Amino acid sequence: MPNYNGVWSLSTHYQNRTGWPSPPITGLFMGSNSAYNSIEKIFFTTLGNATDVGDLSSEKLRGAAVGSTTRAVHAGGYNTSGDSRSNVIDFVTFASLGTAGDFGDLTVGRSDCTSMGNATRGVWAGGRDSSARTDTMDYVEIASAGNATDFGNMGAAGGNLGGFASSTRGVMGTRFVGSYTNIIEYITIGSTGNATDFGDRTISSYDDNGAASSTRGLFAGGTDGSASNVIDYVTIATTGNATDFGDLTVGRYSGSNGASDNIKAVFAGGSGGGYNVIDFVVIATTGNASDFGDLTGNRILAGCSNGHGGLA
């Protein structure tokens, strides 16, 4: 209530803080193909086109990203102009965005990895280093800049895989191990150790995209020689095979993870026909994706948000 002169005191404002409006949850799509290093932003509450809000420290294609409530962290990628695979970890704060700052280095420079994160920790798994596919997994504490630490190993060396996380469990999907696979594995994010078998996707492919709520994870797209539009889902807390969810508006691959606000999953860009397309689905239901808007150009991007399932 207001005090005697009709003016709200600071203490009264604070006591009524549950009524304060919350800022919209932000989705970021980071890196790109060709000579781009863009960071593009969406708000989940408003359908529409993405806007450019900053840059990574350099051009990075096929890296992967995680988000906490405050920071977005992007790691790895392929520098096409320098023909090299990066070990650089960049970060931006959701509140200010802009040009990314240096966070540290991965244990192995690589592209085509996936990422899984909760409110405190981000994990990067698999990919290609300078000579071959790797089974490496490493992690950082998102709030503290520094180099990544070894987490464990995947069941087999492989790249081009999608991933997502709840607050406790990270799940990684199909990958290329010399052939197409339907493998799904998982880790417990708060500990370290090797990945464990989770189940199988409904298709054998690689280069799929992942996004999740706190309970359900989605794998979208991929390729088995042609671009797939298939979306599968799993219940993250319960191991088992994936179930068909619906279809993307257009088949695509190479997106390196989507973004989620714990309600919607958004998949942006990729190869195979969906370079600038942004799709979304409501995670708790099943059905085909709907159009969200467009990226600023044809992009292959790593997605994350400050409100995904791993933060719930």
Q: Which domains does the chain have, with CATH numbers?
A: 24-311 (2.120.10.80)
The DSSP element (H or E) to which 7 belongs, if any, is none
Query: Once rounded to an integer, what is the mean pLDDT over residues 224-238?
Result: 94
Q: Tell me how far apart the alpha carbons of residues 36 and 62 are, in angstroms, rounded to a whole number.
A: 12
Give the pLDDT confidence of 99-124 residue by residue, as tens digits.
999 999 999 999 999 999 999 999 99
**In the prediction, which pLDDT does 254 show?**
80
Q: What is the pTM of this model?
A: 0.91
**Which structure tokens are listed for 135?**
């089974």
**In the prediction, which pLDDT does 253 show?**
85
Query: Once rounded to an integer, what is the mean pLDDT over residues 12-35?
Result: 69
Q: How confident is the model at residue 199 (pLDDT cuts 50, 70, 90)?
A: very high
Sign of CA pseudo-dihedral 294, 297, 300, 303: negative
Q: How confident is the model at residue 176 (pLDDT cuts 50, 70, 90)?
A: confident
DSSP 100-159: PEEEEE-SS--BS-EEEE-SSEEEEE--B-SSSB--EEEEEETTS----EEEEE-SS--B
DSSP bridge partners of 170: 165, 187
Give the pLDDT confidence of 134-164 residue by residue, as tens digits.
999 999 999 999 999 999 999 999 888 999 9
Q: How confident is the model at residue 186 (pLDDT cuts 50, 70, 90)?
A: very high
How far, in Å, are 20, 116, 129, 177, 268 from residue 159 at the CA level? 44, 15, 10, 7, 20
Query: Once rounded to an integer, what is the mean pLDDT over residues 217-243?
Result: 95
- % of the chain at pLDDT higher than 70: 89
- Is-contact 90 73, C-beta < 8 A? yes
Whether the pLDDT of residue 96 is over 90: the answer is yes
Give the pLDDT confidence of 35-79 residue by residue, as tens digits.
578 999 999 999 999 999 999 998 888 899 999 999 999 999 987
Q: How confident is the model at residue 275 (pLDDT cuts 50, 70, 90)?
A: confident
**In the prediction, which pLDDT does 286 show?**
98
Whether the pLDDT of residue 14 is over 90: the answer is no
Mean pLDDT for the chain overall: 90
**Which structure tokens are listed for 310?**
């791993």
Whether the pLDDT of residue 15 is over 60: the answer is no
